[in-house]
């Protein structure tokens, strides 16, 4: 049990924060105050990690600007994979474009999703939270618990929103790859990378799969954080001018 003490503490803290937010929002949201608190808490978490997201996008742009040089190295050292990897890492390091930095925002969200799942799928956060409702559906309700009453239209709307957001994100990823020749700043050419370019546009749809097994509270989190990600893509990944890319390629 000692190994899970940090998780228990995080669940307790999340329950306290959620209860306080619910009390604050109750005069405005009424019976949907807890659901509204989940949305507000999710937005707060995304705002906290937004500097990392900005850094991620900047890194993607640097890597995309380096794509012609990356392809040149891949062709030059096609027969020497070890030398090619060494040269690629040196190029990324010199340009300050860490390929792993893009994973940080997603990794930081994973613990929050786990805490929210534990909060509404178990009694750790207090049984009161399990009984809170949205449109008459308990926030701890899973699809597997049945789709009677308001559960069917509510889950249908949320799942439809996730599918639409996933389609939009996937479409942007494919269009960006077609224009820049890179996916998330990584060139789409080279051994194994072409397969990665085909897989990455499908990743947004994993949120729909998660929603099929998570409680309603966690599905609300997924819809909110996915919508936030879509907004970030529209704002942060809007087309930029060419001069900076040309400057990086001249280095």
Provide the pLDDT for residue 161.
Answer: 96
The answer to pTM > 0.75 is no
The distance between the two most distant Cα atoms of the chain, rounded to a whole number of Å, is 68
Q: How confident is the model at residue 107 (pLDDT cuts 50, 70, 90)?
A: confident
CA pair distance 110, 225, nearest whole angstrom: 11
Provide the pLDDT for residue 124.
Answer: 54
Count of residues for the chain? 251
Domain count, the chain: 1
Percent of the chain with pLDDT over 90: 17
Matching residue, tokens 């019976």: 31
Q: Which domain does 90 fall in, by range?
A: 2-250
Residue 105 confidence (pLDDT) above 90: no
Per residue in 140-167, pLDDT tens? 888 888 888 899 999 999 999 999 999 9
Provide the pLDDT for residue 250.
Answer: 43
Provide the pLDDT for residue 132.
Answer: 83
Q: Would you list the DSSP string of 156-212?
A: HHHHHHHHHHHHHHHHHHHHHHHHHSEETTEES-STTHHHHHHHGGGGGGHHHHHHT
* Contact between 108 and 52 (Cβ < 8 Å): yes
Provide the pLDDT for residue 98.
Answer: 61
Q: How confident is the model at residue 212 (pLDDT cuts 50, 70, 90)?
A: very high
CA pair distance 40, 228, nearest whole angstrom: 12
pLDDT, average across residues 102-127:
67
Residue 174 confidence (pLDDT) above 90: no
Q: How confident is the model at residue 72 (pLDDT cuts 50, 70, 90)?
A: confident
């Amino acid at each position: 049990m000692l190994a899970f003490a940090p998780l228990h503490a995080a669940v307790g803290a999340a329950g306290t924060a959620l209860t306080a937010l619910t009390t604050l929002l109750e005069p405005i949201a009424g019976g949907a105050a807890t659901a509204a608190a989940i949305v507000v808490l999710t937005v707060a978490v995304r705002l906290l990690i937004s500097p990392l997201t900005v850094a991620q996008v900047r890194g993607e742009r640097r890597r995309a600007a380096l794509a012609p040089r990356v392809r040149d190295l891949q062709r030059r050292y096609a027969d020497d994979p070890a030398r090619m990897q060494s040269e690629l890492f040196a190029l990324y390091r010199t340009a300050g474009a860490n390929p792993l930095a893009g994973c940080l925002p997603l990794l930081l969200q994973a613990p929050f999703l786990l805490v929210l799942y534990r909060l509404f799928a178990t009694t750790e956060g207090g049984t009161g939270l399990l009984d809170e409702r949205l449109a008459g559906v308990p926030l701890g309700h899973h699809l597997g618990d049945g789709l009677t009453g308001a559960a069917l239209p509510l889950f249908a709307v949320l799942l439809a929103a996730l599918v639409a957001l996933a389609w939009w994100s996937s479409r942007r990823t494919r269009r960006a790859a077609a224009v820049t020749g890179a996916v998330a700043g990584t060139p789409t050419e080279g051994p194994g990378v072409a397969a990665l370019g085909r897989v990455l546009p499908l990743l947004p749809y994993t949120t729909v799969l998660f929603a099929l097994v998570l409680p309603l509270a966690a599905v609300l989190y997924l819809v909110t954080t996915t919508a936030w990600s879509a907004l970030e893509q529209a704002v942060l990944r809007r087309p930029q001018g060419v001069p900076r890319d040309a400057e990086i390629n001249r280095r």
